Each structure stands twice: as structure tokens, then as C-alpha cells.
Amino acid sequence: MHDFRELIVWKKSRALVKDVYVLTAELPSSEKFNLSAQMQSSAVSVSANIAEGSGRGSDIDFARFLDMAMGSAHELESQLLVSFDLGFLNQERMDQVVQQLWEIERMIVGLINKLRGSK
């Protein structure tokens, strides 16, 4: 088992959740139950899957939850792009969060590779 609170990738995903909540507060109120809620859910899912996987009994299980975290990260990236396309986000704001997300995705991939290599 791993202590998720010690994982840098979890700490960064936790910061991402906060940033996504701040960002979604800027979206039109008509998106409160649509894009806003989905973006918040995706961001929370990244950190939650990292935490849940870290408490599993094996590296194989942890890697599987990291795969799910990666899926949620890609889902969030798609939602950010749609928000940009609809004019809800400007390029600078979107790029800021996407860069943060890409860093987390790279860290997840690195951790998955480490876990799967240590069978």
C-alpha cells in the first residue's frame, strides 16, 4: 500500500480540483448542472482514483485505478476544450489548466510504468 497523501501526483491533482472549481465558478450559470458539474466531477475523480488505488493491496490494482484517473484526466481535458470552443474560457485560462493537467497525466503514466514494471 502507498500513502496517497505523500504522492506528489495526488497533491497536484488536489490543487487541480481547487483550480477547476474556481474556473467553473466563472462559467455561465446556465452551465451549473452541465459542463461545470461534469468538469468538477472529472477533476475530483482524478484525485479520488489516485487515492483509492493507493490503498489497494497490490501494485497491479493501484495501476488499474491510475488508468481510471487517466481516463478522468482526458475527460476533463475534453470538457475544457469544449468550454473554450463555446467561448466560456479564453485561451490563456484554458492553457493554464491544460498545462497543469498534462503534468499530472505525465506523472500518472510514470507511476503506472513504475508499478507495472515492479511486478
pLDDT in tens, 48-59: 999 999 998 899
What pLDDT does 43 receive?
98
Look at residue 118 in the predicted model and tell me its pLDDT.
54
pLDDT tens-digit map of 90-105: 999 999 999 999 999 9
pTM of this prediction exceeds 0.85: yes
Tell me how many domains the chain contains.
1
Q: Which domain holds residue 9?
A: 4-117
Interacting residues of 17 by C-beta distance below 8 A, sequence separation 6+? 40, 43, 44, 46, 47
DSSP state of 95: H
Amino acid at position 105, single letter: E
d(CA 64, CA 84): 31
Query: For residue 56, is it left (φ>0), alpha (ψ between -120 and 50) or beta?
Result: beta
Instruction: Read off the pLDDT of residues 68-98 as tens digits, 9 standing for 90 and up.
Output: 999 999 999 999 999 999 999 999 999 999 9
CATH number for 47: 1.20.1440.60
